[in-house]
Amino acid sequence: MTFRKSETTRRSFLKTLVVVPVAAAVGFSSRVMAALVTADDPMAKSLQYTANSDKPDQHCANCTLYQGGDAAQGGCPLFPGKEVVSTGWCVSWAPKP
């Protein structure tokens, strides 16, 4: 079976129409839908996580594990699929190098 160039191009275009919005939606929703760690979370309890650090020089934003950059909240490998607030703290806090 031989395809003409216009059929191949049309097929590629239609695939793009479907794939791009789906990929964008998945990427967007995973960022928007990330839940914040709560005090009820078992891992949070075991690490004594708090959303408001009482140590002025120790908080998630200046921890080496914090993946949120300058954002108010971001990921932490200790809490997969969830985010911590930049003002938080836990016993695993480690200073950024």
pLDDT at 10: 67
As assigned by CATH, the class of the 35-97 domain is few secondary structures
The structure tokens listed for 93 are: 């806090």
**pLDDT tens digits for range 71-91:** 999 999 999 999 999 999 999
The structure tokens listed for 58 are: 């120790």
CA distance 40 to 5: 59
Domain extent listing, the chain: 1-33, 35-97
Torsion angle (degrees, nearest 10) of CA 24, 34, 88, 38: 170
**pLDDT tens digits for range 8-54:** 676 665 555 555 555 555 554 445 568 999 989 999 999 999 999 99
8 A C-beta contact, residue 50 and residue 39: yes
pLDDT at 39: 86
